[in-house]
Amino acid sequence: MDATVWPLLVGGCHTGRDTAAAIAAAGFVVEVLHRFRFPETGPAGPAAPHIRGRARNPPAPATGPGDQPFA
């Protein structure tokens, strides 16, 4: 269902995607991650799994005093 009907119905949403892994693969550092289902009770639909947390951009590599920008 994730690769066929669901994305067409809800604007490209892919419920089988590992969102936390995609965030990390994009270069962010995941600092806090909480997985939960929404709604907590009742029948679970394909979009019931959720994540909430915090990710940050890693700091840029330090440059030494002799480093010069490209001209």
- The verdict on residue 27 lying in a domain is yes
- The verdict on residue 67 lying in a domain is no
Indicate the number of domains in the chain.
1
- pLDDT tens digits along 7-55: 788 777 778 889 999 999 999 999 999 999 888 888 877 778 889 999 9
**pTM recorded for the entire structure:** 0.66
Residue 45, domain extent: 18-56
> Given the structure tokens 């700091």, which residue do they identify?
59
Provide the Cα torsion 35, 37, 39, 44; round to 10°.
160
The residue among 56, 54, 49, 50 whose CA lies nearest residue 32 is 54
Q: Point out which residues pair with 36 in neighbouring strands.
A: 50
Amino acid 2: pLDDT: 61
